[in-house]
Amino acid sequence: MFDTSFAAIYKIGDCSLSLSKAKKPVTGIDDRIDVYWEVDDIDAAFRTLIEKGATSLTPVTQVLNIRIAKVVDPFGNVIGLTGDVEPDTNRTVENKPSETAMSVAFCRALFAKDNRDEIKGADYLAEIFLTDEAKKLLQDEKSQRWAVQNLITSPLYGYLIARTSYIDSVFIRACNTDIKR
């Protein structure tokens, strides 16, 4: 479906497989490749894995617009779970922006702060849409690295960089052509 120097995404039936390039060889449990399984009830799936002998690596938390958790099975494999966020019936565009919109703005601002020229995004305006709390995560490289590792995950960050770069290139190409038709 998608192939760049940062990530490749394959469609397999009703599922997708996202692969992102590693920075260095795997040395410990925190560096392992994460495999995430989408489940209908993440809380129940997490409890079941713990009851069956897994240990919690990351409890169920909301990351961007999904809920995730990670466990280590009795054999040392890292298993990730993803699930949908329960809809907030009080949330409307009028009283609060969507989590998806805020997540995209945060990621675009984070890309713009990336020190690597081959990755650095051009959207220097995305930061103005963020909350003060989110802006604090962009202040220095250590905070940015923490956000990638704890809020987004490195593989998802690579995917989001690739997706954003692709969408931006399509937009720029459209702006540079005759789009009056």
Residue 35 included in any domain: no
Can you give the chain as a three-state secondary structure string?
Answer: CEECCCEEEEEECCEEEEEECCCCCCCCHHHCCCEEEECCCHHHHHHHHHHCCCEEEEEEEEECCEEEEEEECCCCCEEEEEEECCCCCCCCCCCCCCHHHHHHHHHHHHHHHCCCCCCCCCCCCHHHHCCHHHHHCCCCHHHHHHHHHHHHCHHHHHHHHHHHHHHHHHHHHHHCCCCCC
* Confidence (pLDDT) at 152: 79
Residue 50 included in any domain: no
Residue 69 included in any domain: no
Residue 25 included in any domain: no
* Confidence (pLDDT) at 148: 84
Residue 175 included in any domain: yes
* Confidence (pLDDT) at 25: 58
The one-digit pLDDT tens for each residue of the chain (181 residues) are 777 776 777 877 777 677 766 666 556 655 565 677 888 899 999 999 999 999 998 899 887 667 888 898 888 888 888 888 765 555 565 666 777 788 888 989 999 998 888 778 888 899 998 888 888 889 998 988 888 887 777 888 888 888 888 888 888 888 888 766 5
Residue 39 included in any domain: no
Residue 6 included in any domain: no
Residue 80 included in any domain: no
* Confidence (pLDDT) at 150: 77
Q: Say how many domains are in the chain.
A: 1
Range of the domain at 118: 94-181
* Confidence (pLDDT) at 65: 66
